[in-house]
Amino acid sequence: MAQVAVGHVVPSAFLVFSLLFSSCFLASGVGADEVHEVFGRTLDPKLMGLKKEKLSHFRFYWHDIVSGKNPSSIEVIHSPIVNSSLLLGFGLVHMFDNRLTISGDINSKLVGRAQGFYAQADLDELALLMTQNFVFLEGKYNGSTITVLGRNSILNTVRELPIVGGSGAFRFARGYVQARTYNFDLNTLDATVEYNVYVLHYE
């Protein structure tokens, strides 16, 4: 009878011991990266293929089309405030997917798209909060993006907005853009804006 009891106890004890040993082994720090025990660490940029930082300049034209049957920019939030001195009421929000072309002609070569939104964020003057991604479709930059976020006082001749990041060829991007109104139609409210982009990024 005693031998039978021992025969049943030994395998159970072995199983428990094995489980405890495995748990201790996993918690001992072996494979720490795999179990995410490291919160932060310093990396050599070269290990990520980041060799040399360079400054690039891009110029293209941004077409905001609000009129017609196929607008690229639509109002998604209407302003509850009526202000006769402003074209855009406070709180108004437009979502857009605008063409970026090589010249001021909307039918010229397409180099990318600007996707984002702008909102009237000033009670007293025409000043937009703009958030947009320049999604490039040309050459080695195809599929890469530059992200711009800032204040756009659209009545100023030149407006400057910061570059806050990017993806693909523009990882770790920083810099600024300058926007100049190229054409604005008072009847349709369609606008064409020249963008000069100055961006620091890695090769």
Query: pLDDT of 29-41, one tens digit each?
Result: 444 455 567 788 8
Specify the pTM.
0.77
Please say whether the beta carbons of 63 and 98 come within 8 A.
Answer: yes
Q: What is the pLDDT of residues 138-191, one digit of tens each?
A: 999 999 999 999 999 999 999 999 999 999 999 999 999 999 999 999 999 999
Is residue 13's pLDDT more than 70? no
pLDDT band per the 50, 70, 90 thresholds, residue 47: confident
Side chain identity, residue 95: M
Average pLDDT over the chain, rounded to an integer: 85
Asked if pLDDT for residue 11 goes beyond 70, the answer is no
Q: Which of 117, 122, 78, 79 is nearest to 97 (CA)?
A: 117
- Superfamily name with CATH number, domain 54-202: Allene oxide cyclase-like (2.40.480.10)
Q: Parallel, antiparallel, or unpaired: how do β-strands 128-136 and 73-77 relate?
A: unpaired
pLDDT single digits (tens) 53-109: 999 999 999 999 999 999 999 999 888 876 555 567 888 999 999 999 999 999 999
Query: Within 10 Å of residue 183's Cβ, how many Cβ atoms?
Result: 13
